[in-house]
């Protein structure tokens, strides 16, 4: 099975916020673990890694949205929608993974959802980096126009 892209943390991936950067580092460590499991982990290990990834995503997305909606980031709504879609897909994949013991299926499902989330980090999260850095440097704080509510526990799939 082809290995998915599993980047290591570098300063280039920093968005300029210690909390979000720490969560991104933790997620990439989890992705590296998942990459190893996809190549040779047991069903039990794959299921546990999927649960850990979904929990990390929920917490991270909530924290990231709080950050966005504490500023006037113009793409906050779009980014929030991406979070909801990814979390729905990850939660749905977790349910399917939890109900199967087919190693090929487990590896494929986990690889696909993990790659989607890594792509989100490498693309969408990097899109807000410049804005947040310039906003922090200017000391500006405001409320995003038309902002959606932060993804709270009750809103989660």
Domain boundaries, the chain: 18-140
3-38 per-position pLDDT tens digit: 556 788 889 889 988 999 999 999 889 888 888 887
Residue 42, CA distances (Å) to 33, 39, 81, 103, 125 in order: 13, 10, 33, 8, 32
Indicate if the pLDDT at residue 141 is higher than 60. no
- Of the ranges 98-107, 130-139, 141-150, the best mean pLDDT one: 98-107
Give how far Cα 25 sits from Cα of 73, 95, 145, Å.
Answer: 23, 26, 30
pLDDT for position 3 = 55
**d(Cα 37, Cα 19) in Å, to the nearest integer?**
27
Asked if 147 and 65 count as a contact pair (C-beta separation under 8 A), the reply is no
Q: Closest by alpha carbon to 108, among 57, 52, 34, 53?
A: 34
Q: What would the pLDDT profile of 38-62 be if each residue is shown by its tens digit?
A: 778 888 888 898 899 899 999 999 9
* pLDDT of residue 135 exceeding 70: no
CATH of region 18-140, choose from 1.20.120.50, 1.10.10.10, 1.10.3720.10, 3.90.1150.10:
1.20.120.50
Q: For residues 20 and 63, is the Cβ–Cβ distance under 8 A?
A: yes
- Angle (CA) 22 25 26, round 5°: 85
Beta strands of 19-90 (E only): which ranges?
A: none
Longest CA–CA span in the chain (Å) reads 53
Q: What percent of the chain has pLDDT over 90?
A: 25
- Going by C-alpha positions, the residue among 51, 80, 95, 96 that lies closest to residue 146 is 80
Calpha distance 47→117 (Å, rounded): 17
pLDDT higher than threshold 80 for residue 66: yes
pLDDT tens digits along 89-117: 999 988 988 888 887 887 788 788 888 88
């Amino acid at each position: 099975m082809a290995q998915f892209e599993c980047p290591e943390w570098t300063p280039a991936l920093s968005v300029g916020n210690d909390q979000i950067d720490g969560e991104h580092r933790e997620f990439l460590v989890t992705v590296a673990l998942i990459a190893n499991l996809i190549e040779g982990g047991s069903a039990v290990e794959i299921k546990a890694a999927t649960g850990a990834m979904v929990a990390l995503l929920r917490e991270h997305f909530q924290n990231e949205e709080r950050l966005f909606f504490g500023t006037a980031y113009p793409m906050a709504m779009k980014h929030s929608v991406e979070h909801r879609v990814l979390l729905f897909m990850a939660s749905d994949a977790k349910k399917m993974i939890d109900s199967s013991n087919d190693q090929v299926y487990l590896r494929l499902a986990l690889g696909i959802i993990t790659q989607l989330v890594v792509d989100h980090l490498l693309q969408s999260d990097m899109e807000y980096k410049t804005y947040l850095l310039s906003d922090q440097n200017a000391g500006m704080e405001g409320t995003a126009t038309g902002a959606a509510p932060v993804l709270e526990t009750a809103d989660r799939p």
